[in-house]
Amino acid sequence: MRPATIGLAVLSGYLVAARSPYDIPNAEWDALNITVGGRLARGVPFSRACFSSVGINVTGVESNEECTAIQRGYGSGTFRASKFGSAIETQWETCQKTNEGCLLDPNSPTNANAFNPPKTCHQGGVSPYYIAIETAGDVSGAFAFSKRTGVPLVIKNSGHDYTGRSLAPGTLALWINYSTSFVSEGCNVPGAPVMTFGAGQDMGSIYEFAEQHNVTFIGGSGKTVGAAGGWVQGGGHSVLSNKYGMGVDRVRQFRVVTPDGVPRVANSCQNTDLFWALRGGGGGTFGVVMEASIEVVPHAALQWELEASSGNLTAILGLITNVAINSDKWVRDGWGGYIYPTYSIVANPSLSAQQAKESLKDLTNFLTKHGIKYNWHEFPSFMPLFETIVAAPIPFGVNAAIASRLIPVDKFAPLIKPVTVAKTLETFTLAAGKFAFFLTSPFNYKSTEETSIAPAWRDAIWHAVVLADWAYDASSIAAKLAYTQAELAIAPLRLLTPGGSSYQNEGDVYEPNWETSFWGSNYDRLRELKQKFDPDGLLDCWHCVGWKGKNTPIASCYF
């Protein structure tokens, strides 16, 4: 069933300056708890149960049973998504500036040196209070509380957030983790049904539902990604985006509670400016989305997929050159996919077996020549492909700094430029150590509607991502060095694409000129709409539209 929608008056009164939640009297919290039906709780660090020594204001208890469960699920994205105090990248559970947190050893979660005294569990970057949101009334109550008391808000879905926007010290978090039943509805687009789902649903659940109903949902590659949250509101790329577009292209409606406490329906017929802002303006910015309706593909969308793996750096560098030279052709042939250092997968929803093999002939010849193993697969539907994709080496439960860049088609088209691109990417690869090249842009999808993502997405062929990690028990200096490494690694691609763009959901935390990089020419209008729908700035997050800057509670643990 759908979350309850209730009519509420516009919030009145004056905005109070930001205050620490620890300064708010218990009576205020008790009243809020009544307002939200008893769903207010203390935010406990993910690994708290393993520690006997805790810092100031840390709640929860030591528990051998719970600690064992945490140790077993420490590297599981699914397990982490079920716990409020967790993040996919663990540095966001900590206060990086003070190097205080509550982490286990990701390589050996049972390593007692990580949690036995003198190790202490600190609150770190985990919001000390949260509401398990179920209804629009919960959200309205939270907005009213924040405006009255000055306690800042953040919005958390699954915690699949690379830039730390869903947890913050000194805040009240709205945890959108409830599950509502799916509703498969028709719409006025012939042959194009729409799937409607609550904001707590993740990709894994949605794909399973779609498989059961013989439709394909065009979504992300992570099972725990919240489909109605930052993924679609930030753009939402997919292995099938080349043909079917991004999440923002396919969404048909949002049910959202704006910061004035009013539940609204945003689509192409009503609240159209809000609809535009939500289609690319970023999560946690314009309101709390309670439900999304996204167009699905009626039939199985995938025909052919090629999977390859290699651990040889020389071969990897040669592969980059081969792919760069052929990328213009391949993207026009409809290919999409993911290229990692030791594992790659590309898929095509349109070509026949013979056409697919002919299209990738240069690639397979290269793979054969260098002894790189590869396999062809034909899937009857999307779900088996998704299971193959999620087998890719994406780490969970570790500290990681990332940066990204969109590489446009004009860098690939002329004969000489692919070689230049390849050399730049080789420099990038050698500097980065860990990288991924995503062929997930909507290059062949001709959008007929406006969205607020960076226009650079429409001409991009590659979305290049670099990752630099550091040890769970390393110093703040090591963390800073990792962010610097990511910045240096992405620098050649920034030089290759002056004035270009990066994907806000997978961008450098310290992205220079972030407004232009993340939204391009759309930022000014987004800023105006932020002022319209959130004039008091109740929703604020790092490098989001209308960000208030570094001198705020939500930014206190960034460098």
Residues 6+ apart with CB under 8 A from 43: 84, 85, 123, 126, 127, 128, 129, 130, 173
| Highest CATH level, class, for 304-378+393-512 | alpha beta
Tell me the per-residue pLDDT of 474-506, one tens digit each, with 9 for 90 and over.
Answer: 999 999 999 999 999 999 899 999 999 999 999
Query: Given this model, what pLDDT does residue 1 score?
Result: 33
Percent helix, strand, coil in the chain, to 5, is 35, 20, 45
Q: Is the pLDDT of residue 241 over 80?
A: yes
* Mean pLDDT to the nearest integer, 168-183: 81
Q: Which helix (H) or strand (E) holds 463?
A: strand 460-470
Report whether the peptide linkage leading into residue 118 is cis, meaning its omega lies within 30 degrees of zero.
Answer: yes
- Res 416: pLDDT: 64
Is the pLDDT at 37 greater than 90, yes or no? yes
- The torsion angle over the Cα atoms of residues 422, 426, 429 and 431, rounded to 10 degrees, is -140
pLDDT at 419 (0 to 100): 73
The residue-averaged pLDDT of 436-450 equals 91
Distances (CA, A) of 358 to 329, 331, 333, 353, 361: 12, 14, 11, 9, 5
**pLDDT attached to residue 12:** 44
pLDDT at 100 over 80: yes
The average pLDDT across 227-231 equals: 94
Q: Say which range, 263-267, 424-428, 441-445, has the weakest mean pLDDT.
A: 424-428
Give the residue extent of every domain in the chain: 22-175, 183-299+521-555, 304-378+393-512
Residues 6+ apart with CB under 8 A from 516: 499, 501, 523
Q: Is the pLDDT of residue 512 over 90?
A: yes
Q: Which run of H or E residues covers position 251?
A: strand 251-257
CA–CA distance, 203 with 284 (Å, rounded to integer)? 19
CA distance 515 to 504: 9
Question: In this predicted model, which residue has the larger pLDDT, 350 or 171?
Answer: 171
Q: pLDDT band for 61, please (50, 70, 90 cuts).
A: very high
Nearest to 345, CA basis, from 298, 313, 393, 297: 393
Question: Which sign does the torsion angle of CA 417, 333, 294, 506 carry?
Answer: negative
User: Amino acid identity, residue 60?
Assistant: G
The predicted pLDDT at position 506 comes to: 97
pLDDT at 303: 60
Which pLDDT value is given to residue 315?
A: 79
Note whether 218 and 442 are within 8 A (CB). Answer: no
Weakest mean pLDDT among 198-207, 310-319, 535-544: 310-319
* pLDDT given for residue 63 in this prediction: 98
* DSSP states along 178-205: -----EEE--SSTT--EEEEETT-BHHH
Q: What is the pLDDT of residue 534?
A: 98
Residue 422 in this model has a pLDDT that exceeds 90? no
Nearest 5°: CA angle at 263, between 262 and 268?
115
Cα angle value 78/82/88 (rounded, 5°):
60
3 state SS of 168:
coil
d(CA 123, CA 44): 7
Question: Average pLDDT of the chain?
Answer: 89
Residue 188 confidence (pLDDT) above 60: no
Judge whether residue 333 has pLDDT over 70.
Answer: yes
The single residue listed with the structure tokens 């088209």 is 413
- State both tokens at 324: 């760069």
Q: What is the mean pLDDT of residues 1-14?
A: 39
94 by Cβ neighbours in 10 Å (0-12 / 13-18 / 19+) ranks as buried
Give me the mean pLDDT over the 64-92 stretch: 96
pLDDT-derived band of residue 186, with 50, 70 and 90 as boundaries? very low
Reported residue count of the chain is 559
Q: What's the predicted TM-score (pTM) here?
A: 0.92
Report the run of H or E that residue 374 belongs to, with start and end.
strand 373-377
User: Residue 473 CB: number of other CB atoms within 10 A?
Assistant: 16
- Yes or no: say if 406 and 502 are a contact pair by the CB < 8 Å rule: yes
Same fold, 183-299+521-555 and 304-378+393-512: no
- The CA–CA distances, whole Å, from 145 to 11, 103, 288, 327 equal 10, 31, 15, 52
Rounded distance between C-alpha atoms, residue 254 and residue 196, angstroms:
9
> Is 221 in contact with 239 (CB distance < 8 Å)?
yes
Q: What is the pLDDT of residue 6?
A: 33
CATH code 3.30.465.10 for 183-299+521-555? yes
Cβ atoms of residues 435 and 465 within 8 Å: yes
Q: 514 pLDDT exceeds 50?
A: yes
The whole-number pLDDT of residue 9 equals 34
Q: Band of the pLDDT at 415, cuts 50, 70, 90?
A: low
- 4-13, 287-296, 453-462, 520-529, range with the lowest pLDDT: 4-13
E runs forming strands in 89-225: 129-132, 153-156, 172-175, 183-185, 194-198
Confidence of residue 3 (pLDDT cuts 50, 70, 90): very low
- 3-state secondary structure string across 4-45: CCCCCCCCCCCCCCCCCHHHCCHHHHHHHHHHCCCCEEECCC
- Asked if residue 7 has pLDDT above 60, the reply is no
Q: Give the three-state DSSP class for 359.
A: helix
**Structure-token pair, residue 255:** 């049910």
- pLDDT: which is higher, 19 or 62: 62
* Nearest one of 331, 309, 152 to 243, comparing CA atoms: 331
pLDDT at residue 378 tops 90: no
Does 207 score more than 50 pLDDT?
Answer: yes
CB 210 within 8 A of CB 217: yes
């399973």: which residue's tokens? Answer: 208
